[in-house]
Amino acid sequence: MSDATETSGPMLAADGRPLKASLNRALRRQKLRALMLIAPLLIFILVAFIAPIADMLFRSVENGIVEETLPRTVEAMDEWDADAEPVPGEEVYFALFRDMFVASEKKIHTRLGSRLNYETTGISSIFRQSGREVEDIAEIYEDQFDDLNENWTEEIFWAELMGDPDWFAEASATEDGPGPDFVLKEGMEDRLPLTTEAYLAFAEFTQTEDEDNPASENVWPLVHAMLYHDLTGDAAIDGYTGFGSEELQAAKEAVAEFEAVNYKQAFLDIDEDWGSADVMQTIKVYSPTYTPGYFLTAVDLQLNPEGVEAQPDDQAIYLKLFWRTVWMSLTITVATILLGYPVAFLLANLPMRVSSLLMILVLLPFWTSLLVRTSAWKVLLQQQGVINDVLVWSGLINEAGRLVMINNQLGTIIAMTHILLPFMILPLYSVMATIPPSFVRAAKSLGATNVTAFRRVYFPQSVPGIGAGSILVFILAIGYYITPALVGGTTGIFISNRIAYHISSSLNWGLAAALGTILLAAVLILYWAYDRIVGIDNVKLG
């Protein structure tokens, strides 16, 4: 007899396909349907949770503003040895002049000044002042070219000199708007490299930012300054016979008599701090695209040209705030356990009618604005408030001994304990409600006292509720900033208040992101430690 499996082949489905292939196809369809069902939730998590965290992590190390605003200066500083020469030479200031002119026209130099001011106080004002006066340096060359030939101040002359003939014909015929995109004349970049670079920046800015036509707008004085340096350098115009060749040849012969600018001295005339080693080295240290500077500042360190150093004592505040935040959050968590456990126990063991009425009282704070509740505590806790008045009236304290319970850590702990107490009671109650009363009765019937029955039988079963409430309260507490800002004063604020300050007031988003990242890491570490000690699987909400 022959083996039937050799002739029968694979099992087939009803549609004639192999059964295995049909089964795999059905499983793929099932997985696809399941993915489509969870896709909205997945997209929401990515957009509302993962993306903001990723952006925060990126902002905590991103530092591209220096290189983007001062590209030539950063490149020139690569050759500068700060140890051998505390202040850079003329070539760095020449690059700084070109970058600062373009940045001031785009009005982005103040943003860079604000960024560097986080590291060295006073740089912001230096950049603002230099942005206003750097054009005067370039106008020294513009005036001299104007005296040589009026064509050098005519926008149409510059457009025909630098632009492609086809572009110029179309641009000169355009009456309104930016006109066609600027096209450089062939070979001009080799003849006048610095001038070409400056004119391209002018044309791009004119068309994109001002939405005007380069052929009808006055050329930047920077272009004249760069033309001077091309003509006194290696400008290859001897064989050029196109438009403007006569003017270029005449200018090349005349520039030897022009007044030249010492850029280093020009910047020192604007502000003597441009000769400060601290200012120039700060620019060099923070020129890379990515920097650890924000994280170092967040742990009371600073990045200097010499390396990493500790912050001065009067500026070392962040580690203190971190420890204060963790300590006060733990204190608030313990306080909510001590206050919430008896309430939850009472709710779980009273008759349903009574417990439901009391549960409404527990939920009542959720129906009241957080700002109203916090403001109410300000009224209660202040030295002339209700609590102090009652204590004075009862004779427990005298008028001169009124308690200070507001604008300090005590005020923050009291107000936040009240606000977060329901978040502890609800998980506790939901777990306690599932504990059968017969367990405690059985323990008592075997001879256990009330205390022993509670300690050995009831309490261990309520630990999952304590764990769930503790995690919930602690995570909420560590990120609170409204209540500490209103009742904490200077000693009762959290690190979250400092993060909010850097986001909304100082606009130091990089430092705020670094502080937020460290806070997130601390919470994850504490969560991991809790899982190792208690076990996250034992946490239940009932």
Phi, psi (5° rounding) for residue 85?
-135, 100
pLDDT exceeds cutoff 90 at 197: yes
Is residue 405 within 8 Å of 411, Cβ to Cβ? Answer: yes
Summarize pLDDT for 434-449 with one digit per residue, the tens.
Answer: 888 888 889 888 888 8
Say how many CA atoms lie within 13 Å of 223 toward its Cβ: 21
pLDDT exceeds cutoff 90 at 525: no
For residue 366, which of 421, 433, 427 has the smallest C-alpha distance?
421
DSSP state of 272: G
Q: What confidence category does residue 9 fall into, taking pLDDT thresholds of 50, 70 and 90?
A: low
* The predicted structure's pLDDT at residue 523: 86
Burial 322-350 (b: 16+ CB within 10 A, else e): bebbbebbbbbbebbbeebbebbbebbee
Is residue 77 within 8 Å of 66, Cβ to Cβ? Answer: no
* The predicted structure's pLDDT at residue 13: 62
Summarize pLDDT for 172-190 with one digit per residue, the tens.
Answer: 888 788 889 999 999 888 8
Specify the higher pLDDT residue, 94 or 383: 94
Which domains are assigned to the chain?
5-59 (no CATH), 71-277 (no CATH), 318-538 (1.10.3720.10)
Amino acid (one-letter) located at 418: H
pLDDT exceeds cutoff 50 at 476: yes
Summarize pLDDT for 243-265 with one digit per residue, the tens.
Answer: 988 999 999 989 889 999 999 99
Q: What confidence category does residue 166 fall into, taking pLDDT thresholds of 50, 70 and 90?
A: very high
State mean pLDDT over 387-415: 89
Phi, psi (5° rounding) for residue 75?
-65, -40
Amino acid (one-letter) located at 349: N
DSSP state of 213: -
Measured CA angle at 350 (ends 344, 355), to 5 deg = 70
**What is the enclosing helix (H) or strand (E) of 152?**
none
Compute the mean pLDDT over every residue in the chain, rounded to the nearest whole number: 88
* The predicted structure's pLDDT at residue 8: 59
CB atoms within 10 A of CB 248: 22
Show Cβ contacts of residue 317 under 8 Å, excluding neighbours closer than 6 positions: 300, 498
Strand-pairing partners, residue 309, are 302
Q: What confidence category does residue 33 fall into, taking pLDDT thresholds of 50, 70 and 90?
A: confident
Q: For residues 434 and 152, what is the distance between their CA atoms, to the nearest angstrom?
A: 90
pLDDT exceeds cutoff 60 at 7: no
State mean pLDDT over 306-310: 83
pLDDT exceeds cutoff 90 at 305: no
* The predicted structure's pLDDT at residue 542: 46
State mean pLDDT over 119-125: 90
Q: For residues 36 and 308, what is the distance between their CA atoms, to the nearest angstrom?
A: 50
* The predicted structure's pLDDT at residue 184: 93
Is residue 468 within 8 Å of 446, Cβ to Cβ? Answer: no
Record the tokens describing residue 391, joined without a space. 């204590």
* The predicted structure's pLDDT at residue 2: 46
Is residue 173 within 8 Å of 233, Cβ to Cβ? Answer: no
Record the tokens describing residue 195, joined without a space. 């001038």
Helices 352-363/409-432 angle, 10° precision: 150
For residue 184, which of 199, 172, 205 has the smallest C-alpha distance?
199
State mean pLDDT over 156-164: 93
Record the pTM.
0.80
Strand boundaries in 398-476, DSSP class E:
none
Q: What confidence category does residue 1 fall into, taking pLDDT thresholds of 50, 70 and 90?
A: very low
Q: What confidence category does residue 536 fall into, taking pLDDT thresholds of 50, 70 and 90?
A: low
pLDDT exceeds cutoff 90 at 369: no
pLDDT exceeds cutoff 60 at 5: no
Show Cβ contacts of residue 411 under 8 Å, excluding neighbours closer than 6 positions: 377, 381, 405, 487, 488, 489, 492
pLDDT exceeds cutoff 80 at 292: yes
For residue 217, which of 174, 251, 164, 187 has the smallest C-alpha distance?
174
